[in-house]
């Protein structure tokens, strides 16, 4: 890995505020060269020379190059900045790095370029075929037209102390935990017994705070593993708003909440699920990503739910003492009512690359994002930038399997990608997300019984859906 990785940048720099200005590579373009302005992050900026070289090796003509402007590390601030730029008709940046969690509203407002009309059909078909379905869906219109190229993906897994688990009498390698998901009940038994034997301060560390990460990710995937959904099946994730069913008061969602409460409060909770063990502290109700990672990396937790960057850090810290598994399941897929639910599930994170329709270099910008989708560039971003490509075909390749550290966990990450569940992003999702996070967090905190809380949330979501 190069020194300029995403993990090291986050560790040393952190969030940078609203918008850091038009910084980055600003050297004047060579005569006869088309320079494409790419809105990215510090990692992109620090590696712009290597990115240009990798793009050319992926087929980008030598007379096209990119320069980077550095946007905020705060996703919502980037979204707001793009809305201002696009509504003002700005021709730059030419390429917009968009969170997979809010690309679709820009598509719905027709604010980014339709790549189905700008790329060759062969290129569009290859991108759709090679990348994880959830990643492609996060960059597509309801009719299937592609509006952005998946850049990289974030997929949570369970990272755990394999040495402690083995000492507690379990056999994660013999039972193929890395590729064969276990049930939440079995997981709770493993964690509780391992915590007791290892004297760890915490068992399972996960994000249960009242914030966007609970509604979009942690509870979204937990509910999905039980066969539950906010709006019925996956076909309703992105609308139509006001016409799709609201299903948060159905039993799979109630069961997911009961299990979450049992993990935190144990069998003493009036809504506990029989057979499930207490694994997590009360602090779970305030934990976001930072505290969860600290608990695990400081050696205080048996396991944590975290993202690929944390996996890399944990592997460097614990070596072969680290185990990684897919998110456990509540019910099997054949027991779930809605297709695409049940079994393991991983909340989809990551970023897409969209083209500004006002760009004066539209054709060149399209060539850039098409080059990003090529296997050679996927290998570059994985090995040199520390990004996990959303290209499932690449992740199955021998090249990916041989990447230092990452290669050891690639099969687990690929399973997470294949089972990824996007957040239900629509124009009303910000309001719905806040309502869901507050309700779920309060229910986990025993402020309301699960059925009562979800009935109330169901009414709230109906009001929001009916507001547009």
Of 135, 58, 113, whose CA–CA distance to 376 is shortest?
58
Residue with tokens 């379905």: 133
Distance of CA 396 to CAs 146, 255, 400, Å?
A: 23, 35, 7
How far apart (Å, rounded) are the C-alpha atoms in residues 227 and 250? 10
Q: Say if residue 50 is in the same domain as residue 134.
A: yes
36 CB burial (10 A radius; 0-12, 13-18, 19+): buried
Decide if 423 is inside a domain. no
Looking at the structure of the chain, the number of domains it has is 2
How far apart (Å, rounded) are the C-alpha atoms in residues 77 and 64? 29
Of 377, 382, 378, whose CA–CA distance to 56 is shortest?
377
Q: Say if residue 339 is in the same domain as residue 356.
A: no
- Each residue's pLDDT expressed in tens, for the chain with a length of 468 residues: 333 344 443 333 333 333 344 433 333 445 689 999 999 999 999 999 999 999 999 999 999 999 999 999 899 999 999 999 999 999 999 999 999 999 999 999 999 999 999 999 999 999 999 999 999 999 999 999 999 999 999 999 999 999 999 999 999 999 999 999 999 999 999 999 999 999 999 999 999 999 999 999 999 999 999 999 999 999 999 999 999 999 999 999 999 999 999 999 999 999 999 999 999 999 999 999 999 999 999 999 999 999 998 888 999 999 999 999 999 999 999 999 999 999 999 999 999 999 999 999 999 999 999 999 999 999 999 999 999 999 999 999 999 999 988 999 999 999 999 999 999 999 999 999 999 999 999 999 999 999 999 999 999 999 999 998
Q: Say if residue 16 is in the same domain as residue 128.
A: yes
Q: Say if residue 443 is in the same domain as residue 407.
A: no
* Strands 34-40 and 64-70, sheet pairing: parallel
Decide if 1 is inside a domain. no
Q: Say if residue 150 is in the same domain as residue 162.
A: no
430 CB burial (10 A radius; 0-12, 13-18, 19+): middle
Q: Say if residue 263 is in the same domain as residue 332.
A: yes
- For residue 295, give the CATH number of its domain: 3.40.190.10
Q: Is-contact 442 448, C-beta < 8 A?
A: yes
Q: Say if residue 187 is in the same domain as residue 82.
A: no
Range of the domain at 259: 157-346+428-465
Q: Say if residue 111 is in the same domain as residue 166.
A: no
How far apart (Å, rounded) are the C-alpha atoms in residues 227 and 252? 6
* Strands 34-40 and 346-347, sheet pairing: unpaired
DSSP for 342-401 reads SS--EE-EEEEEEE-TT-TTHHHHHHHHHHHTSHHHHHHIIIII----SBHHHHTSHHHH
Q: Say if residue 46 is in the same domain as residue 167.
A: no
* Strands 322-325 and 157-161, sheet pairing: antiparallel
Decide if 306 is inside a domain. yes
Please give the model's pTM, rounded to 2 decimal places. Answer: 0.91
DSSP for 114-166 reads -HHHHS-HHHHHHHHHHB-HHHHHTTB-TT--B-EEEEEEE--EEEEEHHHHH
Q: Say if residue 221 is in the same domain as residue 278.
A: yes
DSSP for 356-371 reads -TT-TTHHHHHHHHHH
Decide if 34 is inside a domain. yes
Q: Say if residue 191 is in the same domain as residue 316.
A: yes
Q: Residue 336 has what DSSP assignment?
A: -
H or E stretch at 65: strand 64-70
- What pLDDT score was predicted for residue 312? 87
How many beta carbons lie within 10 A of that of residue 103, not counting itself? 26
Q: Say if residue 180 is in the same domain as residue 315.
A: yes
Q: Is-contact 152 387, C-beta < 8 A?
A: yes
């Amino acid at each position: 890995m190069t020194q300029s990785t995403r993990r090291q940048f986050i560790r040393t720099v952190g969030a940078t505020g609203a918008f850091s200005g038009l910084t980055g590579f600003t050297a004047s373009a060579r005569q006869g060269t088309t320079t494409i302005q790419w809105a990215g992050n510090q990692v992109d900026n620090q590696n712009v020379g290597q990115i240009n070289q990798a793009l050319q090796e992926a087929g980008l003509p030598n007379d096209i190059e990119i320069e980077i402007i550095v946007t905020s590390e705060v996703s919502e601030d980037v979204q707001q900045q793009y809305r201002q730029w696009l509504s003002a008709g700005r021709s730059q940046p030419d390429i917009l790095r968009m969170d997979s969690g809010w690309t679709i509203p820009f598509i719905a407002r027709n604010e980014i370029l339709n790549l189905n009309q700008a790329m060759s059909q062969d290129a569009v078909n290859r991108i759709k075929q090679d990348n994880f379905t959830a990643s492609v869906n996060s960059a597509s219109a309801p009719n299937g037209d592609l509006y952005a190229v998946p850049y990289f993906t974030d997929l949570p897994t369970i990272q755990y102390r394999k040495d402690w688990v083995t000492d507690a009498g379990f056999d994660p390698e013999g039972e193929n935990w890395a590729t064969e998901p276990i049930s939440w009940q079995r997981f709770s038994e493993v964690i509780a017994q391992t915590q007791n034997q290892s004297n760890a301060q915490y068992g399972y560390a996960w994000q249960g705070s009242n914030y966007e990460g609970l509604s979009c990710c942690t509870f979204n995937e937990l509910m999905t593993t039980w066969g539950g959904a906010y709006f019925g099946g996956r076909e309703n994730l992105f609308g139509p708003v006001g016409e799709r069913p609201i299903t948060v008061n159905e039993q799979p969602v109630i069961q997911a909440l009961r299990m979450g409460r049992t993990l935190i409060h144990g069998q003493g909770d009036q809504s506990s699920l029989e057979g499930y063990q207490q694994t997590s502290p009360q602090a779970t109700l305030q934990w976001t990503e930072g505290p969860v990672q600290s608990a695990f990396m400081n050696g205080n937790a048996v396991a944590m739910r975290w993202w690929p960057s944390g996996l890399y850090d944990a592997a460097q810290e614990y070596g072969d003492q680290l185990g990684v598994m897919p998110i456990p399941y509540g019910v099997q897929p054949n027991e779930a009512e809605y297709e695409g639910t049940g079994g393991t599930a991983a909340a989809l994170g990551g970023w897409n690359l969209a083209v500004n329709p006002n760009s004066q270099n539209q054709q060149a910008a399209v060539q850039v994002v098409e080059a990003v989708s090529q296997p050679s560039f996927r290998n570059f971003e994985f090995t040199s930038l520390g990004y996990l490509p959303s290209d499932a075909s690449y992740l199955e390749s021998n090249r990916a399997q041989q990447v230092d550290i990452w290669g050891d966990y690639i099969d687990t990450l690929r399973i997470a990608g294949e089972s990824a569940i996007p957040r239900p992003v629509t124009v009303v999702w910000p309001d719905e997300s806040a309502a869901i996070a507050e309700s779920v967090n309060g229910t986990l905190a025993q402020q309301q019984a699960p059925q009562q809380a979800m009935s109330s949330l169901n009414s709230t979501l109906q009001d929001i859906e009916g507001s547009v």
